[in-house]
Amino acid sequence: MTAPNMDAPGAVASGDRAQGEESTGIVREKRLSSLRAQLAIHGGHVVHELHDASFLVCWRGYSKALPDLQALANFARQVGAV
């Protein structure tokens, strides 16, 4: 048995793929943390992440359901938090 040819076009080490997936998760968490902080500082909005990866934003007794992180970012822009 020989070692894989890492010089071949399209060759990807298995660790690189796992690291890429991990860094994607880290980027998502950083973006979510940033949006949570900006919304809290701007107007006291509280962001809850739900079990289905959607979000619930609460503010002074009102709430808004948002389906994903992009929708949360759009909401933050709408209220002037970013």
Query: What are 58's strand-pairing partners?
Result: 46, 63
Residue 40, CB half-sphere, CA atoms under 13 Å: how many?
A: 9
- pLDDT at site 45: 96
| Distance (Å) of CA 14 to CA 6, 18, 21, 79 | 11, 7, 11, 43
Taking residues 16-32, report their average pLDDT.
Answer: 79
Name the band, by pLDDT with cuts 50, 70 and 90, for residue 23. confident
Q: How many CB atoms lie under 10 A from the CB of residue 13? A: 10
- The Cα 66–Cα 47 span in angstroms is 10
Give residue 35's pLDDT.
97
Task: Look up the pTM and report it.
Answer: 0.71
Query: Which DSSP state fits 63?
Result: E
